[in-house]
Amino acid sequence: MSPTTSLDEVITSALDDRELRYEHKEPGRFFVTLPGAKKLQTNCWLVVGRHALVVEAFVCRKPDEAHEAVYRFLLRRNAKLYGVHYTIDTTGDIYLVGRISHHAVTADELDRVLGQVVEAADGDFNTLLEIGFAGAIQREWDWRVSRGESLANLQAFRHLVSES
């Protein structure tokens, strides 16, 4: 049995046991949808590489503003994360990435790492928006008020808004 086949079985079993939604269209590649509260879902790739299982999750697009403050937050947050860390791609979009050695891939380890992905992506989401998108939040708030639109999903950011 190839390493990919046995790892695929471990990953499939772990995802099924946790009732997570995923696609597995080719050996060694899983596209997992992790549920959240603030960030309603986090899409995460699990890819069996030559020596390790690669974990990669999109968190947030490139911030519009306060880049230095966003990156400072991410670097400080990295010190508290288990199995994954924040990084940015060439366009500045924010991801969580990690690697698990083949011999360390177990259902329990996947649970810990995917749990960390959810905790970080979901738990840090509003903070990242507050730091990197405050101006956009203010513009969206103003636009909705001017049109009489609902502000329900912006209430978490009310403290950022100056109402005139």
Q: Which residue has the tokens 């001017």?
A: 146
Other CB atoms within 10 A of residue 58 CB: 16
Query: 3-132 maps to which CATH number?
Result: 3.30.1460.10
Judging by beta carbons within 10 Å of its beta carbon (0-12, 13-18, 19+), is residue 113 exposed, middle or buried?
buried
Confidence of residue 161 (pLDDT cuts 50, 70, 90): confident
Q: Which residue has the tokens 């928006």?
A: 129
Q: Which residue has the tokens 């083949």?
A: 102
Provide the H-helix boundaries in 18-161.
67-78, 107-132, 134-147
Tell me the sheet residues that pair with 100: 53
H or E segment and range at residue 8: helix 3-17
pTM: 0.89
98: its two tokens: 């990690």
37-92: pLDDT as tens digits = 989 999 999 999 999 999 999 999 999 999 999 999 999 999 999 999 999 999 99
Residue 1 has pLDDT above 60, yes or no: no
117-146 burial string, b = 16+ CB within 10 Å, else e?
Answer: bbebbbebbeebbbbbbbeebeebbeeeee
Q: What percent of the chain has pLDDT over 70?
A: 96
Residue 163 has pLDDT above 80, yes or no: no
Q: Are 47 and 4 in contact (CB under 8 A)?
A: no
DSSP state letter for 120:
H
pLDDT value of position 160: 83
Residue 94 has pLDDT above 50, yes or no: yes
Q: Where are the domains of the chain?
A: 3-132, 134-164
